[in-house]
Structures are given as structure tokens and as C-alpha cells.
Chain A
Amino acid sequence: MNEKTILEMRNIEKRFDELEVLKDISLTVNQGEVLAIIGPSGSGKSTLLRCATLLETIDAGYLGYLGNKVAETGENGRAQYVSKAELRKTRSYFGLVFQNFNLFPHYSVLKNVIDAPMNVQKRGKGEAVAKARGLLAKMGLEDKADSYPYQLSGGQQQRVSIVRALAMEPQILFFDEPTSALDPELTGEVLKVIRKLAEEHMTMVIVTHEMAFARAVADRVIFMDGGVIVEQGAPEDVLGNPKEERTKQFLARYSEEQ
């Protein structure tokens, strides 16, 4: 297994006013690794993802991609980010799949997928379209290229948004509760697609409530609560045989609800 580090976060701290959301979080994600992050609402897992994808800024700590620094605590004790140009470059390393898809409603499926490669990465139209059609076919959406998002089911929309992220050829793909807005029937088709990507050794970080899925697909599971990583390890350990009391409680309550 290649041990190239894609994402590195060290001692990340983040607060919203008085509320400490992330307390001294450290994690690394290596190439080809699939990491699942679980935890109750308000545990900070989504904020962690938003910090990694530059939608939120960290207050302190170190954030880096592929060995390049993105932000680090400066002499004044607050995190200093690199230049705007370097941040733009950083964004090309990762993709993000949102809970509620956030497709562009005024663009057809194909345009949703090719617009950023063409206008952000300045790739030729022919190349972008060929790539998009290939990815859409792979996700079982080849006949939807000319549809508009509102004409698709939630599961189809989420698959399109995965294609949109993949078309940028990211080094790592983040998923923020990708099936939480879907009913159980549609959840399956999206999970199947993510599983397929895992089999191809796509590097992924998945925030999810689907325990069975996390267990099946993840190489490593992180359980977060109250802004800290309570426990992490192989899925069968964290989910099957948790050591921490807090993890046990969470999983017990979770299986009751199921």
C-alpha cells in the first residue's frame, strides 16, 4: 500500500464565539484510504469536514494537503492561511459531495459536470464532455445527460453531484452525510456508487450515519463526540468492539433506533 499522505490535520481548533466545536483534532488520510467519521449531531464532524474543504477557517493548528501547508498557527497563536492563489490550487486537490447535492439547477446534468473542468481548469470542451460521459455511464446515468436536476430523483441527483466532483479529478473526495437527505430506497444506490469508488481505491473521507455501510466500506472509522476524536481504528474494532464508554453508548442508542 502506498503511504503517501493526502490530508494532514494536526491539533485543529475551531470555535464559534463561545462554543468550542473542534478541540485539538489530529488526523491524517493516506492515499487510497477510506475513512468514515461517525458521531452524534453537534459532535463537530461536519465542521471538521468544512474546515478540511476550506468552507470554514480553523482557529489554530496545522492543515496540509500532499505535504503542502495550507494553514498553520502563526506567532500570534492564530492560524495563518497561505495566499489566495495557493488556496485555489489546494481546492483542486479535493472534491466535496454535499448532503443536499447543491447541483446548479439552471444547468443540465452534462453542463453541471463539465462547467468547472472547462472554466476553472480550462480544459477543452471535447475532453471535458468525453470525461463527463464516461463518468455518467459508470454511475448509470448515461441517459440523463440532458436532463435538469429537478427532473431527477434524489439518488440520481446525488450520483450526479459525485460525478461533478470526480470530473475535477480530485486526489481526495469528501462526503458530508451523502445519504441523509434520501429515503432508504434511494440510499442504497448512492452507497453502491461510493462502494464502487472504494474498490477503485479512491481516497475518501465520509461523514455518515450509516453504520453498516461504514463497516463494509471504511478502512478506518473515527468516532467523534464533543469536538474530540473519542476513538478510532478498524471498523470491526470501533463499531464491533468499542473500548470507550461513550462509543458504546452511542452505538447502543443507535442500534435501538434502527
Chain B
Amino acid sequence: MAEPGLGTLGTIAFGIAIIAAAVGGAAVLTWFERRLLGIWQDRHGPNRLGPFGVLQVVADMLKLLTKHDWVPPFADRAVFVFAPTAIVVAMLLGFAVVPFGPDLYVLDLNIGLLFFLGMTSLAVYSVLLGGLASNNKYALLGGLRSAAQMVSYEVFMGLSLMGVVMLAGSFSLRDIVEAQRELWFCIPQFLGLLTFTVAGIAESHRLPFDLPEAEHELTAGFHTEYGGMKFAMFMLGEYLGLILISAMIVTLFFGGWLGPWLPPVVWFGLKVFALICFFILLRAAIPRPRYDQLMTLGWKVMLPLTLLNLMATGALALWWRA
């Protein structure tokens, strides 16, 4: 592995800082998302507590912390308690390979991209085991849906990134950013960007792909039986997933920390922020598809598109070099 850019102590401190920033960011996002949704839907959203209602975050946290931490008697206790932690741990680990600046990273693995894919696929267990351990029909159906959705979308999630890997010639996220100095990959890899974005939303099961929860038909899907802090962990994991997917899209397709005038980490933050706003806009704008439409979209539209992109990129890359 390459030498860490910050030294051992610096890397540890930076890792802790990332965890704090990601968790804090996820908490603020819960408020920010509701405010933005409010603006787009022509209403106020939470605006009472503190300036612009930002203290709503604290109020929500206090409410969740003081709730009775209840485990249903019919649930599989150990698995029920373990399930929500998996998604938070996996998502936080995923942040380890994200390069925030030329020397601002925790790990520069030569398999960085695969590490990220591995962590997102491990996060699925949270939803699955939560649904299974709840011993509740709604939760089970939510978990089942999520298993099918994740497996289907994971297939082309990985494949959609292989075009980027081909162009950059490396799995290391730092090398991928460096390879975008002349041209961001969102232009030669627009099909990859499209498919990865769709897969990313499906993997973090946000609207419009939140079929595992689908409160209109499954009450709350896999987390029907969850309350208090354990429910908050699921939500935290989901928002962490949103931030992580945005950070990955920025790194892989929008030149990561690259940009003129401003310091690299500011560019990175701005790009991630813009993408998060875009994801919230998607939530406000697009209705939820039916479950079979979701699966059809994955297998019959997205997968062929991804394969097409992969073939075209490979052919062009060969032709370019010859």
C-alpha cells in the first residue's frame, strides 16, 4: 500500500474527523432534506426551532434518545439488535477510501473501488437481517424486496464503474481522480454515470427506489418493528449512504477534488453538496415505481445499457491506443 499522506497519527485523527463529519452531516441532512422538500413542494418544512429551524435536528435526536428502547418479544433478539449497526459500520468504512484532497485520505488502496463496492454490498445485510429478525410479515416482505433489489442493482453497479477503471487504468480512487485532470469522466462515461447514479439510489434505497420501506403498502417495510435509537441507526445509515454515494459519484465522474482557485477539499465539498441537493430534488420530483417495474428497469434496461457502455468504452480505448 502507498504511504499515507498524513502520517500515522494524522491519518487516525483524520479518520475520526471524517466519522464525526459524516455522522454530523447525516444528522443535519435530516433537517436540510425536509426544508428543501418543503421549498419545492411550496410549504415551509420544519422552521420553528432556532435559525431556519436547524435546531430541529437536536429536538429529533432528543426524542429518539429518550424513547423506550423496545425489542418485540417475538423477534430474534440478538439479530434484531445487531442488524441496524451493520449498515452504519459498513457505510462509515466506505468513507475510508474516499480521497477528500490530494493528500487528504485515510486509505489509498490499489483496490479502493472494489473496497467501496464490498462495503455497500455488506450494508445490505442490515436491511435483510432486520426484516428477518423482526418476525413480522411486513418486515419480511420489505427485507425480501430489498434482497432482490440489491442483488439486481449491484450487478450493474459494479459493471457501470468498469468503464471508469478502463479509462483511468487503476482501481485506486486517487489515480482515478488524477486521470481526470484534462477531462472529467462524466463526459466520456455519461452512460456509466447514468447507470451508476440509478444503482446508487437503489443501493441506498432512497426514494424513488425505497420499495423495501414503501410506507403506502408495507407500513414501513423492514424497520416496521424498530423504534428509538435502533430506528435512528437505520436512518443514519441511509443518510450516510446518500453522502457516500454522492462522494463516490464526485470522485469517479466529476473530478473529485480537482477545480480552479479554491482549495481542493472545498471543491470536493461543494460538488458533494450539489449532488446531495440533486438527490433530494429527485425524491421530490419522481414518483415511486411499482415493484415489478423496478426489477424490469434493472434487468432489461440498465444492465444492457451498462454492457453496451462497457463494450463501447473497451473498443474505443483499444482503438485510441493502437
Q: Do A and B come from one complex?
A: no
Chain A interfacial positions (CB closer than 8 Å to B): none
Query: Which residues of B does A touch, CB under 8 Å?
Result: none
